[in-house]
Structure 1
């Protein structure tokens, strides 16, 4: 498993890092772009979020195509097309052209994240999964830790060779995705059985592990992909993901403006300060993800950080001290990101085969509608209120709601597993194997 992690995780972190930066760098562009294009807070919120509507709509078809043609080819296709469209955002000239490019970016990106989740499920057994998912998903906060100062620096190129700073930012941060798409075609391996970089006995062991887990968790009511649409837990997890991503993108796509308003900072200073909460989020997600794998417990490792994060939102919103407000954002982002990473161990416990491809895509599709609702809701509330206090309080409320839902689903699944565990002469099957 160490070989697998060394081979796959670094590239996936880099892929997700570039993916997420291209998705949220509009938040930094807004520091100049809103003025140049004449965008109101509501216009910007709509532009920031409309990507997720089209992303969600194409999610399930994209993942089903991935299931048919293979992850290596389809993930590379996604990266190349989104990189080109992300760079093209540099040439928007009004709010309507911005809306169109954001819609196309959502269509191009559709299937990337659930495709990666499905790929990780096929390579990492359950006891290794939370750690692998957490490592992959630190590409998200890392993209902001390094991308925030980079974006701020690119904004300073204003009018260099006749382009505004935000235009340079879109071009420079979009094209690396095209390069990584080509690299993914060469580097990724479809299944453990095809991994010539593993020894034959290692390939056989890992293939047996993954296939055995798939048979063990196969649900008789989820024999084919379309069955997930009538599966209650899948819909419940989808709503939970909606709440988490509403809070996450609601704060992330407004973060540069929130931070800048806390201390009347310059664009460069706002870029540097914006990275700080994501450093804390990275550390917290790695620690909690590894602890969740070590203990095997999922529900509390999602719910407790979510509640703590909700408190952080309230502190950030209502504190008049900028340092205390920044501390609140650090706590909020840490709890939010832990919930977002460990969450993906729950669908992996109840879905397998074709139902996993469709189920993970459905959960991510519904969840990413929160990516539209969060920024747009924040923009609407911001229009009719002073400051961001009410915005942050509402986002924290959605995070707290997700905590209750995730804990309930994890608790119910634990009880189901206990009832399904066969007993032989007073000894559980797990203890007998041990």
Structure 2
């Protein structure tokens, strides 16, 4: 349904999603949620747009049916800063093509800015955000998902900093030359590799945020031992709700991360949010792996992704809701406080597995509504949707400046 209202002489049309019972919706609270979305700084630390554009270019300056992100929908949802994921699959490290792909994805983000300068602006620092946050543009920051493109050469890390990379997820679903992965049963290093330790120290020195999403527990504790600056989990959820699922972050790790001033950016994937969905998803993942093996399809290739997408359409695992996302935020707030949680949706990265009520970048107000309904204050919401991440980023910048 749509709610139409007048605010300061402006006609606003607010979409109320299906998961909200129209008879129970608090229209005043929903209006407040939409107002807040326009007033506060919203930072989403993980959107997988570049890889989509690598496969097939489309106009992100207008409303589209592709994925979950474009200017129109992001602007409607109040998004201010979107971290574009520079993602390289583990298969590319095997093929020696990680850096080539990463460089191409960075150029794609630069092309977005060049083609649509009135709508998008790349930012590389907190001062950039302060300068351009009222420009009516979507600000694009760069986060590298999987450190494989560093290719065992610390000079490459320095070059990526110069190109604007401001966080690096050390690994993805396979262990790499930097560290072990939470998704990989093979533990080559039992944490960070010797080169990985060098990477962590150099990221601190340069001012690149260390992202602990995807890494193994032992890698996490190695990072926490070595890092002199707070770290982030750019798109993770709480293991409390998915027992035994190492990809999510445990209560003990949340406590350790908060002690050092870091922040967990909650992802929106249903299989991260709920145990029942997670179990069905993991079973499906095994069936997909078996199919790829039997038909000699290389994981990470277009053929593999096409099969996987079709598999999930034919074998749905169920959908989480905006309430489930709020439950994870609640859990962290109760555990360590409101200063250590944010959002990292994984839009354009999880396909059919997004929650009801958070289907794309226009829907952030639905999460704000749910948090308001639970008693969160405007100050709390400002922290969760952006200020906590800004604090960490600033501390990483300051720590780097102190090493010069």
TM-score by length of 1: 0.25
Q: Which protein has the larger Cα radius of gyration, Structure 1 or Structure 2?
A: 1
Structure with more helix by fraction: 1
TM-score by length of 2: 0.26
Structure with more strand by fraction: 2
Relative contact order, higher structure (CA 8 A, sep 6+)? 1
